[in-house]
Structure 1
Amino acid sequence: MVLNFRPEVQGLRALAVLLVVLYHAGFPGLRAGFVGVDVFFVISGYLITALLQAEYAQTGRIVLSAFFARRIKRLLPAALAVLVVVGSVGVWLYPPGEQAEYLSTLRAAGLYVSNAWLAARSLNYFAPASAENPLLHTWSLAVEEQFYLVWPLLTLWALGWRKPAAPWRRPLMLLILGAVSLAACWYFTVKVQPWAFFLTPMRAWEFAIGAWLVGKRAEGWQATVGAVAGLGLVLGSAALMPSAAVYPGLWAVGPALGAALLLWSLAGEQSANWLRRPLSAQPLVILGDLSYSLYLWHWPVLVALAVLWPNPDGVQRGLALLLALACAAVSLYGIENPIRRRAMASRWVLALGAVATLLMLALSNWAMHRAAQHGDDGLAHIEAAASDRPRLYALNCHQFFFDERPAPCYFGAAASAPVVALVGDSHAAQWFPALEGLALREGWKLVTMTKASCPIWDLPLHSPPLRRRYWECERWRDGVLVELQRLQPQLILMASANHYGLAEAEQVQGLVRYAQRAQQAAGEAKLAVLRDTPRPGFNPVRCLARAHWRGHQAESSCPISDSDEKVWRERLAEQERRALSTIGLRYVDLSASLCPQRRCELQRNGAWMYSDDQHLSASFASSLDRALELSLRGQALLPLQTGGK
């Protein structure tokens, strides 16, 4: 079944892909070019539903095998080509540790479930940044494929299995589906934003909007108004959406409604010609033809550029886009079109598609096994640092995003021993190896209460992974006070990262307020705040592994520059020290032991200093137990009295 060619729809595809590609390339003025994906979803809902309804109108049925065969011929060959190239280039580009990560995404992309995979990874605190994943963009392809899998069945039910259904069934289905999906999208944007962004049920309403438009068209002044409003909503959303907007949620209604208005306005025979003509221009039609391939290729090319040349300039990004365009042209004219135009029975298409997918999965599994076997002892030593974390994590003693009640963990001496409490976020947890060694030597009971991305400040907090206010953190901090009142420790050690994006004065005031509340809860406890550790400005483990893998001198390829105020936050540290001293609390500063002469090194005390771009490795932290002991003694925080206060 073939619909009449609509050049203006191809132009609209071109507009959508341009928004996405230019946004990813850092084009100025596009704050939210990612809304091009929402435009694609609406177009897909419109075209696929129109195709299915036309087939039903002509034949009285929908042949599912033929529909799926057409989708496979259209989408699978180019997608597999990209996956094969990304997998092959990645073996050279990435060391084995990173290969395992992107090959897992490749496997999920081959099964069209990378949206679910990425949604799960986005809430994994230690997962590599998704922006560095060359297959991140496949999430939207997975959403579309999952839509194609379910939509023909729903359409067939709405139209009637054996005889035409009542005319109200189709609009009622679209209304209910769209309303439920939009409500779920709003709810999960507020609660767990990655689920709303990546998962198909929360995006189904956009396809439903497109489906609703089938058979509807605007004429005359309505078309003009609709086209102006639609173009304004799409471009305005891309250019003017606030950086603080939590997407998708209700913010996605703008571009989706804009795309719907454009399709509605351009459907009439004599409507919105002032817009139809430019959208139907040959360059935009050609770009629309290339839109699928260009979308497939542009992101891996941009990621490879950033890996080879960190912080590329505008010229380099422009050349990368030209390369992506060339790859898209080869893909369209050399792979997609020849296969799509080749006559073949549906059953053979389905069988070959299944075989090709299984072969790709087998190759990706082989590549993952091969990656695990390659590398030398030097590379293994570097990559081991990435998992050199405190055993709090393995013991499930470090709590994560959705935990609201603290779950104290106990280490060290028996019940009658002095109690020392370690409280804070992951920058408190990183001190556990040093404190555990000290607790065992001094005969303490060490109690830990740490939670991911939850600084010990009496302040409301926004969570970047959840893209909303971090209610769980606020409730957890209140629960910590209850636990401190119950434990009555002799010493409380608090630590938090200092890079949550708050104003320094606000942050210091929040720290002081919480420290006072903690000391009041614990009675006569001594309380000290550990100064935050410096950040190297990049991920040393990843940098060292990549350099070693490519045969470069590892340490000279990844120097840590002289520390400056941005890294050390000297002014903030001084403000914290002064504010705490005014209320009689201590400030523990191990800067000299961490980075002598204000210069940090990749290796100290026989261990890699960092496990990622901000956390000390457990081995290095463990080597600081003596330095920590001397600092605590120097500030009269030790010795602690056995048997209580």
Structure 2
Amino acid sequence: MDKPRGRSLRFLPDPDRTGHARMPSSIRQGRRVILSLQYLRALAAVGVVLFHQFQSVSPVFRVGKYGVGLFFIISGIIMVSLTEGRTIRPLNFYVDRVTRVAPMYWIATAATFVLASVGICTPSIYSHGIGHLLLSCLFVPSPNEHGVMMPTLFIGWTLNYEMFFYLVFGALLLMPGRYRLPVLALIFLSLAVCGVVVPQGGDLLRFYTSPYLLEFLAGCCLGAIFGLNLAKLRPWPTAGLVAALVGAMIGAGFVFPLLFSGAATVFLVAMLMWIERQDLMPTLPFALMLGNASYSIYLFQQVAFDAAQAALRLLHYGPGLHTVPTRCAAVILAIATGVAVYRSVESPLTKRIRRVIDGTQRASDPSGKGTAPARV
């Protein structure tokens, strides 16, 4: 087996790290930062922001919508990489994921709900209902009062998929490691096929049988191929398995068209991870910063857009966010807002929550038997 290479093993700031190194919780023990994935997170977040502002300006920016699939693939890579070869309790996994994802999502959802209540947000998009707000915060897909199947914070539909992936993946931690990926593949492929066989099902059935689930699966396959140090297998087996995965996705694309773009995304991710494996990935502080802040950028982009629109109304600027200069300003504002929220809220809040969780886990399992060391 190839030895890990230097840059793949750097400890760098990361949105899933707390900076509290004394006793990390089990899912985060031995966490390594993969620079290529951080840069891809930045690309995904900025791409989605550009898509939301410029999709009607030029077809070029419509490629940004594939940032969602990129997030899903990265999520699959990280979950497999962090749990492979380790004994992790499902409860610890769920606590880690919920505390990582939910607090900032709830804050962004609350901000959106308040903006909608005072009429700043577009009423045809946002929900004012308390019941729908609660379902949104619980990551339960449901139609709002306008009949639109989206949570209070509309981009939160992707988080509903994330949490479903975590729910299934966490349950599979009860199995021996060698069975997890095959069983996950069986579950997600069965659900996707069900969506094809029963196309007239209700909204909830359509949601949970979406081929988006297969992008998580593809990410899990990449995680199993590369491993946490990017050097799990020798170069040619790695390249062959990646080629087989991309080919399988292209073939499946004739049934699930979403997988054509998914195959291209998997190839991009694998290529950058391969470059980093060869120790050729430079450290780019600005891209790393955007990668760290990608979750907040994604969550708070619409809040920034609505604030920009409200400011333009106060200035009696009739065109609003329908000119290229104002759209550019809105994009810059969205990215700056996300970085500011990450630094002032997300990072310190996550550290504080995880210090509490780590202390609780030390008290409940002082022997540390709930986890095995990460294999890197």
1:301 aligns with 2:308: no
Q: 1:203 to 1:296 in 2, by over 3 A?
A: same
User: Is the contact between residue 211 and residue 258 of structure 2 (CA under 8 Å) also seen in structure 1?
Assistant: no
Matched to 2:346, the amino acid is E
Structure 2 residue runs without a partner (length 5+): 1-28, 227-232, 314-318, 362-376
Give the corresponding residue for 1:78. Answer: 104
Give the corresponding residue for 1:146. Answer: 164
1:577-610 per-residue CA deviation (whole Å, 9 max, x = no partner) reads xxxxxxxxxxxxxxxxxxxxxxxxxxxxxxxxxx
Q: 1:14 to 1:254 in 2, by over 3 A?
A: farther
SS in 2 for 1:101: coil
Shift of 1:8: 0.8
User: Is the contact between residue 178 and residue 209 of structure 1 (CA under 8 Å) also seen in structure 2?
Assistant: no
Shift of 1:298: 0.9
1:67 aligns with 2:68: no
Give the corresponding residue for 1:184. Answer: 194
Q: What is the distance in 2 between the residues matched to 1:142 and 1:252? A: 18
1:173 aligns with 2:176: no
Q: 1:138 to 1:200 in 2, by over 3 A?
A: farther
Worse overlay, 136-145 or 338-347: 338-347
Give the corresponding residue for 1:214. Answer: 223
1:102-148 per-residue CA deviation (whole Å, 9 max, x = no partner) reads 445433321111xx214xx5xx9xx36679x8721101011111221
How many residues are matched? 310
120, 134, 138: which one aligns with 1:111: 138
Shift of 1:175: 3.5
Q: What is the distance in 2 between the residues matched to 1:204 and 1:248? A: 16
285, 290, 295: which one aligns with 2:288: 285
Give the corresponding residue for 2:322. Answer: 312
Matched to 2:80, the amino acid is T
User: Is the contact between residue 184 and residue 217 of structure 2 (CA under 8 Å) also seen in structure 1?
Assistant: yes
Q: What is the distance in 2 between the residues matched to 1:205 and 1:293? A: 25
Matched to 1:256, the amino acid is G
Q: What is the distance in 2 between the residues matched to 1:3 and 1:208? A: 21
Q: 1:181 to 1:264 in 2, by over 3 A?
A: farther
User: Is the contact between residue 75 and residue 219 of structure 2 (CA under 8 Å) also seen in structure 1?
Assistant: yes
Matched to 1:50, the amino acid is S
Q: 1:187 to 1:312 in 2, by over 3 A?
A: farther
1:16 aligns with 2:29: no
Q: 1:101 to 1:312 in 2, by over 3 A?
A: same
User: Is the contact between residue 12 and residue 288 of structure 1 (CA under 8 Å) also seen in structure 2?
Assistant: yes
Matched to 2:266, the amino acid is A
User: Is the contact between residue 290 and residue 332 of structure 1 (CA under 8 Å) also seen in structure 2?
Assistant: yes
Give the corresponding residue for 1:256. Answer: 262
Q: 1:225 to 1:323 in 2, by over 3 A?
A: farther
Q: 1:154 to 1:8 in 2, by over 3 A?
A: same
User: Is the contact between residue 185 and residue 203 of structure 1 (CA under 8 Å) also seen in structure 2?
Assistant: no
Q: What is the distance in 2 between the residues matched to 1:347 and 1:20? A: 37
Structure 1 residue runs without a partner (length 5+): 160-166, 232-236, 238-246, 350-645
> 5 Å matches for 1:340-419?
340-342=350-352, 343-345=355-357
> RMSD across aligned C-alpha pairs, in angstroms?
4.1
After TM superposition, the score normalised by the length of structure 1 is 0.42
Give the corresponding residue for 1:6. Answer: 34
User: Is the contact between residue 76 and residue 217 of structure 2 (CA under 8 Å) also seen in structure 1?
Assistant: yes
Q: What is the distance in 2 between the residues matched to 1:97 and 1:321? A: 22
Name which structure has the greater RCO, CA cutoff 8 Å, separation 6+: 2
Q: What is the distance in 1 between the residues matched to 2:254 and 2:91? A: 33
SS in 2 for 1:250: coil
Q: 1:102 to 1:257 in 2, by over 3 A?
A: farther
Give the corresponding residue for 2:331. Answer: 321
Q: What is the distance in 1 between the residues matched to 2:359 and 2:303? A: 32
User: Is the contact between residue 223 and residue 265 of structure 1 (CA under 8 Å) also seen in structure 2?
Assistant: no
* Aligned-pair identity (%): 21
1:416-466 per-residue CA deviation (whole Å, 9 max, x = no partner) reads xxxxxxxxxxxxxxxxxxxxxxxxxxxxxxxxxxxxxxxxxxxxxxxxxxx
1:378-411 per-residue CA deviation (whole Å, 9 max, x = no partner) reads xxxxxxxxxxxxxxxxxxxxxxxxxxxxxxxxxx
> 5 Å matches for 1:526-545?
none
User: Is the contact between residue 185 and residue 249 of structure 1 (CA under 8 Å) also seen in structure 2?
Assistant: no
1:337 aligns with 2:359: no
Give the corresponding residue for 2:119. Answer: 93
Matched to 2:156, the amino acid is T
User: Is the contact between residue 181 and residue 205 of structure 1 (CA under 8 Å) also seen in structure 2?
Assistant: no
User: Is the contact between residue 66 and residue 346 of structure 1 (CA under 8 Å) also seen in structure 2?
Assistant: no
Q: What is the distance in 2 between the residues matched to 1:267 and 1:135? A: 32
1:204 aligns with 2:213: yes
1:26 aligns with 2:54: yes
After TM superposition, the score normalised by the length of structure 2 is 0.68
Q: What is the distance in 1 between the residues matched to 2:93 and 2:122? A: 40
Q: What is the distance in 2 between the residues matched to 1:42 and 1:147? A: 11
SS in 2 for 1:157: coil
